[in-house]
Amino acid sequence: MKRAMLIAGNWKMYKGPSEAQAFCAAFAPPRGVDVVLLPAFPALAATVESGTTVFAQNVHWEDEGAFTGEVSASMLHELGVVGALVGHSERRQLFGETDDGVARRVAHALEAGLHVIACVGETGEERERGQMEEVLRRQLSVLQRHERLAVAYEPVWAIGTGVTATPEQVQAAHAFVKGLVDVPVLYGGSVKPDNAAELLAQPGVDGALVGGASLDVASFTAICETASALRS
């Protein structure tokens, strides 16, 4: 029997505690799919209380210290959070996170017992210059296989733009990633109910990191149901 797909909903800087509670009260994940929600930090506790599996949107590489604005693995554990997203393109592009920082965050989170989704992906300019494989190779070089590690391939040019990579582009990128790191690989980049089936059916696609479409209960449920049907 095939392994269940992982569908992760990244809420980014949307939904405070009350909105998170309302979403979870209306959301019933289908059987046969692993579902994870990634709320903003203030909504972590409210989402955990719903019984849904919860990951944080980031985690630091130290247990404690003078790191204003950061959160540690031990703090997440205390809340009941079981994993973290690391290296999202918005963290890299807007906040200057580096491959070295990603490596340190991933390594510490795994050592601390968290699950990790590590993000990789090229910009539009890098793809146009034929540098997709070079960029992915560099970003993946700091990662090692681990039973609690998954990778999300998220082409930066397809995040929040409404542009989605073609099935052929997704398949090629996932095959390349899996050739370097033997872990589950999710696709992230404008995943919606109307394209989820085509994207998730591609060889090497083990799930999806969903952004905007995860904010609406009906939309996110439809994507989860598609993933469940594909693995049933």
Q: Give the span between the Cα atoms of 112 and 61, in whole angstroms.
A: 10
Angle, helices 132-140 vs 99-111, to 10°: value is 40
Catalytically annotated residue among 90, 122, 154, 174: 154
DSSP string, 149-204: EEEEE--GGGSSSS----HHHHHHHHHHHHHH--S-EEEESS--HHHHHHHHTSTT
Q: Is 146 designated active site? A: no
Q: Give the span between the Cα atoms of 80 and 74, in whole angstroms.
A: 10
Q: Where are the alpha helices (DSSP H) in the chain?
A: 17-26, 44-49, 73-79, 89-95, 99-111, 124-128, 132-140, 167-180, 193-200, 217-231
- For residue 42, with 0-12 CB atoms within 10 Å meaning exposed, 13-18 middle and 19 or more buried, which class applies? exposed
Q: Smallest Cα–Cα separation from 227: which of 32, 28, 2?
A: 32
Q: Is 88 designated active site? A: yes
Catalytically annotated residue among 60, 88, 115, 174: 88
Report the catalytic residues: 88, 154
